[in-house]
Amino acid sequence: MGFLKSESYKKGAITSIFFSGIAKGLAFFQSVVIAFYFGSNFHTDVYFFVYTTITLIASYIISLNYLVLIPEAMKISSEESEIASQRFLNFFLYIFIFLVSLLEICFYCDPIQFFETFSKLDSSILKSEMHTMTLFMPVLLLIVLTTYFTDILTSKKYFALPLIVNSINSLLTVLSVFVLHKYVGVSCAIIGIYVGYIINLLWLLYILLQKLRWNFLSVNFKIQKKVRKNIAYAYLSQVTTFLGSFFPIYLISSFSSGIMTSLNYAQRLYQIPEQLIISQTSSVLGIKLNELNVNKQNNELNRILLEVVSSTLFIVVPFSFAFYLYSEKIVEIIYMRGSFDVSSVKSTALFLKYFGISIPFIALNAFYSRVFIALQKMKLAFYSSLFVNIIFLLLMYLFVQLLGPIGYPIAISTYLGCSVIILFPLLFQLRMPLINSIGIIKCVFRIYGLNLILNLPIWFLLKSEIEFNIFLYATWIVSCLIILNYYTKTSIHFYNIQKIILKKVAFSK
């Protein structure tokens, strides 16, 4: 089992891509299984609310890993010794355990009051689902510990570990739902989560103790002032990000039974292009942009950036239109079976329709973030991020009050669209003129224009209640984009691939 060993970066990248597909496929299948057995109701609302809340709290706590702790530990290992690095990381391990334990003690003092403070769920629903909340809360510590150990091992070039851990968690949750759904209801998913995290935790501890000879009893209590400042700055910078993720579920928890669950199912669907395409592409782009900036290759940096933007948007913009036009049909195909009824389909589809609009903007936002990091404009990134997150929170509150739950995805699409089309290109022009922001915007409008031309006839057909099969629609869009790209060169990358394929076909004849 070579993927359990420390790997080279090249081999690690290949292994990560392989396990990424498995992990994300299992995670998505997990949501399908829960929808099949439990549908969308107040039981699943509480389950998803508590799970999301715990995950967000854990993410906020452990964001320190990649922002400060792991880079600092790697530096200590290089400049001092591996033992010194271990002692540094052990100190924060025990800090995390203390903070999470304190938070869980506060929760168990009055669970109902705890979630009444952080949600708008009815107190009668919270009381009826007390067992779900009390059973779920200890998962917070398991998530923090598992992620902390996984991040340490990833820094030691165990690249596949995070994805294997996620796969094991999702697989065991699915198995638990299959076996126990008749006996304990939605709590069966929590049992699967417990089993998955405990197995992973024992496995990670084994690797740390046996492979890295980790000494958990050795602790360094003296932390440099610079590190303390970085920690404070890192947590401060994550506050608006945390609020931007938590505030929506707080607002939406006040609406009718099943809405929270429908929101979660829609998010799982629209995040597929983001997880499979955008996150992978932006990671590779970030590495390349860093390298080009260090070597002062500004022209090549712009060329690569524009090529990646055009290629990625060429793929994800059609998803955006498809989700808008066929949201209900897509939800029916994926989820409508078992306990997932027609009303659940309609509410989930409405969320998906407007979430889908934001997919290309998410891609651009991810690429712009990589530009800020590559050019080391962290202060500018912090203040611009703070500004847009505050605007988002205000927009979301306003839209949810005016439009109801659907105001949340509309607010996301509005703020992201304005950010990536107006604000960030303007910042590039003023503060980072070496970036060809005009070229990027032209590329965005060209790709949107091409897709709009292809989708308008379908929109008129559907408005006229003339059925146009979703599979026929997919064939139409893909075929037209391939043909038109060859003549318009909308995506240079795919145009070059098309030329190579045509040359090979001509040569074989």
* pLDDT single digits (tens) 230-245: 788 778 777 877 887 8
Averaged pLDDT of the chain = 83
CB distance 36 to 337 below 8 Å: yes
In a 10 Å sphere around its CB, with 0-12 CB exposed, 13-18 middle and 19+ buried, how is residue 457 labelled?
Answer: exposed
Asked if residue 359 has pLDDT above 90, the reply is: yes
Average pLDDT over residues 369-392: 79
Query: With 60 as the cut, is the pLDDT of residue 509 above it?
Result: no
Q: How confident is the model at residue 10 (pLDDT cuts 50, 70, 90)?
A: very low
* pLDDT on residue 508: 63
pLDDT computed for residue 30 by the predictor: 81
- Tell me: pLDDT of 35 over 80: yes
Answer yes or no: pTM beyond 0.95: no
- Every domain of the chain and the residues it spans: 1-223
Average pLDDT over residues 139-155: 88
The stretch 412-421 carries a mean pLDDT of 91
Greater pLDDT, 26 or 197 = 197
Percent of the chain scored above 70 by pLDDT? 91
pLDDT bin (cut points 50, 70, 90) of residue 136 is: confident
pLDDT reported for residue 244: 79
- Distance separating alpha carbons of residues 35 and 20, to the nearest angstrom: 23
pLDDT exceeds 50 at position 1: no
Confidence label for 376 from pLDDT (cuts 50, 70 and 90): low
What pLDDT score does 21 carry? 63
What per-residue string of b and e applies to 116-136 under the rule 16 or more CB within 10 Å gives b? eeebebeeebbeebeebbebb
Q: How confident is the model at residue 2 (pLDDT cuts 50, 70, 90)?
A: very low
Containing H/E element for 95? helix 82-109
pLDDT at 91 (0 to 100): 92
pLDDT of residue 243: 81
Q: Smallest Cα–Cα separation from 95: which of 146, 140, 61? A: 61
**Would you list the DSSP string of 415-472?**
HHHHIIIIIHHHHHHHH-TTS-HHHHHHHHHHHHHHHHHHHHHHHHHHHTT----HHH
Q: Which of 62, 57, 40, 193 is nearest to 114 (CA)?
A: 57
CA geometry: angle 384, 387, 393, nearest 5 deg: 140
Least confident of 41-50, 237-246, 435-444: 237-246
